[in-house]
Amino acid sequence: MDKAPLIISLKTALVSTFFTFFLGIYAAKFVVNLKRGKGLLDAIFTLPMVLPPTVTGFFLLLIFGHKSLIGQLLKTFDRSIVFSWEGTVVASTVVAFPLMYRTARGAFDQMDHNIIYAARTLGLTEHHIFYKVILPNCWPGIIAGTILAFARSLGEFGATIMIAGNIPNKTQTISIAVYTAVQAGNYDLAYKWVIVIVIISFVSIAAMNLWNTKQSRIVTNKGGI
């Protein structure tokens, strides 16, 4: 069995989760601190989660397709997002971003703000407060968001197939490999890939949950007197 879809899926999911992690947290921080326009920006950031993946894929084609500004610019460097592995990362990041953003934002909103006020009265800079007070306290929520983002990136199909296409050894992720196998009537291959991805998803979620529980214990224990 050709291992390419497995490697491509893992590479894509890991890289896009990496980007989503930072983009989601900073977007959440930005929106939480906004005075006006919170609702509008929140709606825009959550949009890729609500839209059907094929619609998201369509918008990505409009933005990165070879007729667009970005597409034309990349063409001069002989690169392209459409029909390339980079396209799978872009698609996965865009669809996973709302999950990370919303979870991080929820974690920030639900945090006990008194701790932040106390930190301010003690003279800590905002920068210090974010990294040493807010993030550690919201860590379980952020990890939950990362788990969701990874799972979503791994399972992305609609937007990926529209912008990255189905190119074996380049952009054919496990989801696309299953689809292709079923279309071709090759149920054996489809079963094999289904088992692989179920195992991966199961293991990664179980592992992250385990780590999360350990972290929670540390956080709550630290707060105890």
Partner 1 sequence: MKKITALLLTLCVALSLFTACSKKQAQETKKAEQVKLTILAAASMTDVLTELQKDYETANQNVELTISFASSGALQTQIEQGAPADIFISAATKQMTVLKDKKLMVDDSIIQLLKNKVVLIVPANGETKITSFEDTATDKAKKVALGEPASVPAGQYAEDVFTSLNILDKVKAKAVYGENVRTVLTWIENGEADCGVVYATDAATTTKVKDICEAPVGSCKDIIYPAGIIKASKNQDASQAFLKFLQSDTATQKFEKYGFTVIKK
Summarize as ranges the residues that interact with partner 1 (CB under 8 A): 65-67, 82-83, 161, 165-168, 180, 182-186
Region for residue 200 given its phi and psi (left: phi exceeds 0; alpha: psi -120 to 50; beta: otherwise): alpha
Q: Between residues 103 and 172, which has the closer beta carbon with respect to partner 1?
A: 172
- Distance in Å, CB of 191 to partner 1, minimum: 14
Q: How many CB atoms lie within 10 A of CB 96?
A: 31
Q: Between residues 135 and 167, which has the closer beta carbon with respect to partner 1?
A: 167
- Distance in Å, CB of 81 to partner 1, minimum: 11
Q: How many CB atoms lie within 10 A of CB 124?
A: 15
- Distance in Å, CB of 61 to partner 1, minimum: 9
Q: Between residues 24 and 71, which has the closer beta carbon with respect to partner 1?
A: 71
- Distance in Å, CB of 183 to partner 1, minimum: 4
- Distance in Å, CB of 162 to partner 1, minimum: 10
On the 0-12 / 13-18 / 19+ scale of CB atoms within 10 A, 140 is: middle
- Distance in Å, CB of 112 to partner 1, minimum: 43
- Spatial neighbors of 32 by CB under 8 A, at least 6 apart, are 105, 108, 109
Q: How far apart (Å, rounded) are the C-alpha atoms in residues 8 and 43?
A: 31
Q: Between residues 70 and 118, which has the closer beta carbon with respect to partner 1?
A: 70
Q: What is the CA radius of gyration of the chain?
A: 20
Q: Between residues 3 and 127, which has the closer beta carbon with respect to partner 1?
A: 3
- Distance in Å, CB of 152 to partner 1, minimum: 23
Residue for token digits 């788990």? 147
SS (H, E, C) 75-123: HHCCCCCCCCHHHHHHHHHHHHHHHHHHHHHHHHHHCCHHHHHHHHHCC
- Spatial neighbors of 88 by CB under 8 A, at least 6 apart, are 8, 12, 156, 160, 164, 171, 173
